[in-house]
Every structure is written in structure tokens, then in C-alpha cells.
Amino acid sequence: MTRAKQIRVLLLLMLLTPLVYAFSMPSNPAPSWDRTKIIAIYPYNADGSEAAENYINALQASDFQIIEDYLQDQARAYAMPLSKPFEIRLGNPVAVSPEMPPPNASSLDQLAWALKLRWWHWRLDTQSLQPDIVIVARLQSDRGGPMRLHSIGMPNPRLALVNLIADTDYHSSNLVTLTHELLHTVGANDHYDGPTGFPAWPEGFAQPDQKPLYPQAFAELMAGRIPLNDEIAREARSLNETMIGLRTAVDIGWSTP
């Protein structure tokens, strides 16, 4: 190999290294459940509104206790030996948040977004919360103006960007969204039809063997909707209306196939 070719190969490897890092996925995205996983929630005023600022200032760690309790109960249903799978810690608001991935982006744009995301994650002041999982709660007012409610969670890094509504009337539904994205960070997959949002059977049904099948009483958390008949499903309004189904439990390492 000539000197010039060696240099070209070296340059190519330098270019490919961030590509591999940005798009790498663990072969098993579920964590080992040998200890409680620490979740740090960092609020962010996504629209700069006074309403979102006031809502953020009023937040307390106890506002998220229901998530801890819910996941503890769901884990117990699968005979998890770890009594407390998650502990939630509320951080101070962050001044900067990663943007959501651009819609219909080219591969180059996706790469640029992934690298910026990891740069932000690497530079994040974790405020000594020692998180295993980072969640940015991107809060926005519902009082006029466009709203971006699409959220994303990923297992590498274990990070979620969650768009929520800064209004106490939406607190229960916010917790459903936040918990859904949280489970993405530990390996869960969506269980609904992309174009329609209708839960996929059987994995997207909380009780897929129920007879008659409809109406379902609960939503499978990673489907997010309660199927009422074969055409209509409504959003779960609170975690009390959801369950973690077997497929999701397998995906996150709480059960075996």
C-alpha cells in the first residue's frame, strides 16, 4: 500500500468513526437489572413562554412519584427480583435542549443531528444526579401557537426528548408520554401502526387473549391507546389506564420470550 493510499484510508477511517458512533446500537438495548436505574429529568422551556416558566418553577420530584410506583408495580407482575427498577430525580431546568430530529431528513442531516445530540449529552452538566438515563422534559404552553408533541427515546445514549404540555390539566397524560419514552431508552419498541396509530395485535394489546377482544380495558403502554373496536382506539389519559404487555417486558429484559 502506497503512502498516499495509507493517508486516504486513514482519512476515511476518521470520517467513518463518528458515523459508526452516531448510529451504533447495542445488540441488546435492555440494561442489566442488577440495580435501580437512576432517571434524571431536566425541564426545559421549549417555547420561552411565561406559562411554561411558571409550570417548571412549580415542579417537584414528587410530581413524578407515580411513574416510580407504576413501574414498580408492573415489574412485580413479571416477578422481577429487583424491587425498585427506577428512581427518578428532578434536576434544575436546562437552558439548552437538543432539537428533535428533522422530519424527512437526508442521511447527512440525520448524521449531523445524531452528532449534535451526542455532543450535547457529553457536555451536559448532570448536576451530580448520577443518571443512568437522561430525560429532557421539553415543556410548552398550550395557549396558542404551533405545538410539537412528537417525542423520542433511544437506548444509545439512554436519552429521551419528551415534548409535554405545561398545564396541570395535562399532568396525567404527560406522565403517560414520559413513561412511554422512558421505556424506549431501555429497549422497548412501539406497538402501533405508524400511519393510523392503531395498536398492533397482539403485542399492542394489554389483554390480547381477551374474549371478546373488544373493548379492551387498558392500553398497552407502548401502543398508548385503548382499542374499543377494530377501528377506534382512544388515548390513555393516565398511567392507571395502561399496562406493560409481555412483548414489552421481554424487550426491556423483565421477562423471557
Domain ranges of the chain: 37-184, 188-257
The pLDDT score that the predictor gives to residue 20 is 46
Query: Of 67, 68, 86, 84, which Cα lies nearest the Cα of 76?
Result: 84
pLDDT in tens, 42-87: 999 999 999 999 999 999 999 999 999 999 999 999 999 998 999 9
The pLDDT score that the predictor gives to residue 186 is 98
The pLDDT score that the predictor gives to residue 13 is 45
Amino acid at 118: R
Contact (Cβ atoms closer than 8 angstroms) between residue 28 and residue 251: no
Alpha-carbon Rg for the chain, nearest whole angstrom, is 20
Q: Is the pLDDT of residue 6 over 80?
A: no
For residues 89-110, average pLDDT: 90
Q: Is the pLDDT of residue 109 over 90?
A: no
Structure letter (DSSP) for residue 239: G
For residues 195-213, average pLDDT: 96
Exposed / middle / buried, residue 142 (Cβ in 10 Å: 0-12, 13-18, 19+): middle
For residues 211-238, average pLDDT: 97
* Mean of pLDDT over the chain: 90
First to last CA, the chain: 49
**pLDDT-wise least confident of 13-17, 112-116, 192-196:** 13-17
The three-class DSSP label of residue 146 is: coil
145's torsion region: left (phi>0), alpha (psi -120 to 50) or beta? left
Q: Is the pLDDT of residue 147 over 70?
A: no
The pLDDT score that the predictor gives to residue 9 is 46
Burial of 167-205, coded b for 16+ CB within 10 Å and e otherwise, reads beeebebbbbbbbbbbbbbbbbebbbeeeeebbbeebbb
Q: Is the pLDDT of residue 111 over 60?
A: yes
Query: Of 121, 143, 120, which Cα lies nearest the Cα of 132?
Result: 121
